[in-house]
Structure 1
Amino acid sequence: MRKTKLTDGQLLSQYKNGNEEAFAVLLERHKDRVFTTIYVIVKDRYQAEDLMQDAFIKAIKTIKSGKYNEEGKFLPWLLRIAHNLAIDHFRKAKRYPEIVMEDGSSVFNTLEFSEAPIEDEHIKRDTHNLLKQYIQELPEAQKEVLVMRHYMQMSFQEIADATNVSINTALGRMRYALINLRKKLQHTQIAYDQNFYKK
């Protein structure tokens, strides 16, 4: 049987038994997904390529050490490694969750606060700062899904794969994140774009 026809699990078994070529097939099979998972977060092709290599190296070390036990879930496990490396990159750069959009503008500058007077930049700036603060205060799992969905434009399927949970769990975390943000913003009586939080 050709190696390209083998399942991930079969290839992993061969690799554990010393067949280095088996992992090369796995790398070729999944490198595009791993690269995309990282690239949507770091928005830099060269950095994404470096982190993709790091992800595969980490996977190899884990498998060779005998600590890999995600039988049948190789791709979600690999995407989780890639996702964590990309997020770590952001945290080290002290930019998380301050995400910069494709055009170079801050994501918070794209939010419209419908009832705040346009001329009152102080209110707008204060609201942006409060929003950033409230996002940081969310439970880690909720904050992660919110950032990936709204600021990185990832689908819930991509989020589920990257965080190794079901789509329903990802949706639930997003729902609770938005409920918590709404409560915090309503408590401060600051106007905000309610349509944004219904997405």
Structure 2
Amino acid sequence: MMNVQQLEDRDLILQYLDGNDKAFEVLLTRHKQKIYTSIYLFVKDHELADDIFQDVFIKIIDTLRKGKYNHEGKFLQWALRISYNMCVDHFRRSKRRSKVSASETFDIFDVLESPDENMEDAMIKSQAYGKIKALVDQLPPEQKEVVILRHYADMSFKEIAALTSVSINTALGRMRYALINMRKLIGDKEVVFQ
């Protein structure tokens, strides 16, 4: 019998549909950090992020059980699309627009894995991440969104375009303007990265 941990996402889904609940547990464990983080980055509230995260996985389970999941796409991108749509629905219901802004309790760069490094390198990297985060936080919401989805969620511009309901050219343009704006901010504030 093959170790469930080593199965691809598609195989885990098939195992789950055949009654193996452990397969879904492995799938959830494998992707929960990225999915939860993507939700939190949009809602900026841990309790709300927890609620939406649970709703996302209820929707995923319902979709899988109804046989409506399409294996052509990647599971993580599909799950991220569901989470994004649920965040948008939440903001529509509350008549607010999703904003990705600075947070004192959460830092996207804290969840990024890095190889062992000495203390000096860690401090320099931490300062650089802080400066980059501050620059990203100053971008307009649409540009911030593309930067986070591209560089944190590892989504392609095609996936970002589909997720945010814009054309690929618009997604590319937003990234381009985000980079231009960040360069301008670096020049204006004379930010130095060591």
TM interval, short-chain normalised? 0.5 to 0.7
Residue by residue, what CA displacement relative to the aligned partner does 1:83-127 show, whole Å, maximum 9, x if unpaired?
Answer: 111111112121115x373369xxxxxxxxxxxxxxxxxxxxxxx
Please say if residues 79 and 162 of structure 1, whose CA atoms lie closer than 8 Å, have aligned partners that are also in contact.
Answer: no
Distance 1:73 1:178, change over 3 A: closer
Q: Is the contact made by 2:38 and 2:153 (CA closer than 8 Å) also made in structure 1?
A: no
For residue 156 of structure 1, what is the aligned residue in structure 2?
A: 150
| Residue type of the alignment partner of 1:96 | R
Question: How many residues of Structure 1 are paired with residues of Structure 2 in the alignment?
Answer: 142
Q: 1:61 is matched by which residue type in structure 2? A: D
Q: Deviations over 1:16-65 (max 9, x none)?
A: 11112211111111111110110000001111111111101100000100
User: Which amino acid letter does the alignment assign opposite residue 159 of structure 2?
Assistant: V
Q: Rg: which structure is higher?
A: 1
The 8 Å contact of residues 149 and 155 in structure 1, kept in 2 or not, is answered as no
- Which residue of 2 is the match for residue 21 of structure 1? 22
Distance 2:156 2:45 in 1: 19
**Partner in structure 2 of residue 59 of structure 1:** 60
CA 1:175 to 1:163, structure 2 compared with 1: closer, same or farther past 3 Å? Answer: closer
2:17 is the counterpart of 1:3: no
- Provide the C-alpha distance between the structure 1 equivalents of 2:57 and 2:22, rounded to a whole number of angstroms: 14
Please give the alpha-carbon distance, in whole angstroms, between the structure 2 residues aligned to 1:178 and 1:32.
Answer: 24
User: Where in structure 2 are the equivalents of 1:81-96 lying within 5 Å?
Assistant: 81-96=82-97
- 1:102 aligns to what? 102
Asked whether the 8 Å contact 1:55–1:78 carries over to 2, the reply is yes
Unaligned runs of 5+ in 1: 105-145, 183-194
Instruction: Give me the identity figure in percent.
Output: 37
Corresponding residue for residue 181 of structure 2: 196
The structural deviation recorded for 1:71 is 3.6
Amino acid at match of 2:101: M
Q: CA deviation at 1:170?
A: 7.4
RMSD over aligned Cα atoms: 3.5
Q: Which residue of structure 1 aligns with residue 129 of structure 2?
A: none
The reply on whether 1:173 has 2:160 as its aligned counterpart is: no
Using the size of structure 2 for normalisation, the TM-score is 0.60
Three-state SS of the structure 2 residue aligned to 1:154 is helix
Task: Say whether the 8 Å CA contact 1:159–1:170 is kept in structure 2.
Answer: no
CA distance in 2, matches of 1:29, 1:80: 17
TM-score w.r.t. the length of structure 1 is: 0.58
Alpha-carbon contact 1:39-1:48 (below 8 Å) kept: yes
Q: Distance in 2 between matches of 1:160 and 1:29?
A: 15
Q: Deviation at 1:149?
A: 3.1
